[in-house]
Amino acid sequence: MTRIVRADHGITVGTPPPHPERTALLEARGAVLTWDVLTGEPSLVVHDPVAADWLWEVVGLDAADAILGAAAEVDLVPGPLHERARTAAHLDWVGAWWPASPTAGIAGVNPALLRAERAVAVNAVEHLLDDEDATGRALRGIPPLDTAGCRLSVDDLARQVLALAEDYGVEQAAAVPTRADFALAAGGDPSTGVTVLSGVSETDWSTVPRGLLDATAPARWSVVREGGTSYLEVAVPSGPTPGPVPLARFGPVEVPLERGALGWYTGRAAVAPTVLLLPPDRRVLSVSVPGYTAAPEDSGRRAAIVAYARARMVLPSATLTEREAGLR
């Protein structure tokens, strides 16, 4: 049985996850639902019992009556929309906390695939949410899925997103960011220079404070020839938490970064033409904050999340986004 605590600020059912990186959260109408990603334990806080009339769809009729009534404990039994609500929450967790780390063998997730899968998941529980435009908001800006480039079949998902976009009158984004976009973000002129080599590298979240970088998007680099000089251009998507400005390294080259108005850390450094001779295994861009060391308690917590992500990548019941990351 799960304990119910009633207070002036609301009704708390169960124990919330102990740390943010373990929390999958869905902000619903009149209540907040949470799941501990490591244990699977659900919890919730009802702050408006009248608005939370949908609760039975997630926790079952008997549990909803107990929670909204006067019971002191309850047996939480999954309702008809429990798994869909949990999936929507979990995909938000993936977007915020997926521990992409080359050294740990955790590939970054495909941002377009994540956003597409999340839009479909949000639509499935839209009537539970405190946002009438939740599906439309989730659909806006999703680039077309590269069905040929995905190792798993995403044709059905692509069709669902297209149908939803038509139903909600949302035009899908058409383009993936190019070097010109990165140059503009850095304040440069995208019309000059010739790109002779480029690539992407996953960022390692253990080398920077939590939330400093976008956990789902790779860092991008380009070697550009301009006016007889070679330059290394770097663009790293920032995360939700402000902090110290990181430093990029590509082989032996260090590139100081600055945070631009468009939410990217960008930088440019002159390099010797011999950078083109670096073997493929050294053409890796790393991003770190000099002197940063994860606190001991953070190390254990990170290890648990990394192990969880590694298991999800091969779990048949995991999301497409997670399983696709396992094949990258």
Same-domain status, 305 and 217 = no
**Residue 171 corresponds to which tokens in the numbers above?**
């035009």
Same-domain status, 52 and 185 = no
- The span from the CA of 324 to the CA of 112, in Å, is 12
Indicate whether 318 belongs to any domain. yes
| Structural domain that includes position 128 | 94-175+297-325
Indicate whether 88 belongs to any domain. no
- The span from the CA of 52 to the CA of 46, in Å, is 7
Same-domain status, 158 and 207 = no
Same-domain status, 170 and 193 = no
Indicate whether 150 belongs to any domain. yes
Indicate whether 69 belongs to any domain. yes
Residue from 109, 312, 142 nearest 217 by CA: 109
pTM of the model: 0.73
Per-residue pLDDT of the chain (328 residues; tens, 9 = 90+): 999 999 998 999 999 999 888 999 999 999 999 999 999 999 999 999 999 999 999 999 999 999 999 999 999 999 999 999 999 999 999 988 888 876 678 888 898 999 999 999 999 999 999 899 999 999 998 888 888 788 899 999 999 999 999 999 998 765 444 444 444 444 444 446 799 999 998 887 778 887 788 766 789 999 999 988 999 999 998 877 788 999 999 988 999 999 987 778 999 999 988 888 888 888 889 999 988 876 666 778 888 999 999 999 999 999 999 999 999 8
Q: Which of 54, 80, 106 lies at the terminal end of a domain, its last residue?
A: 80
Indicate whether 87 belongs to any domain. no
Strand partners, 226: 229
Domains contained in the chain, number: 3
Indicate whether 67 belongs to any domain. yes
Same-domain status, 201 and 258 = yes
Same-domain status, 165 and 306 = yes
Indicate whether 219 belongs to any domain. yes
Same-domain status, 170 and 301 = yes
Same-domain status, 72 and 203 = no
Same-domain status, 139 and 164 = yes
Q: How far is CA 286 from CA 212, 220, 248, 250, in A?
A: 14, 10, 6, 7
- The span from the CA of 143 to the CA of 124, in Å, is 21
Indicate whether 85 belongs to any domain. no
- The span from the CA of 47 to the CA of 45, in Å, is 6
Q: Which of 80, 107, 142 lies at the terminal end of a domain, its last residue?
A: 80
Q: What pLDDT score does 186 carry? A: 44
Strands (DSSP E) contained in 178-304 are: 194-201, 219-226, 229-237, 247-250, 253-256, 258-259, 264-271, 285-288
Same-domain status, 171 and 190 = no
Report the SS3 class of residue 294.
Answer: coil
Same-domain status, 104 and 45 = no
Residue 33, by phi and psi: left (phi above 0), alpha (psi -120 to 50) or beta?
Answer: beta
Same-domain status, 187 and 281 = yes
Q: What pLDDT score does 191 carry? A: 42
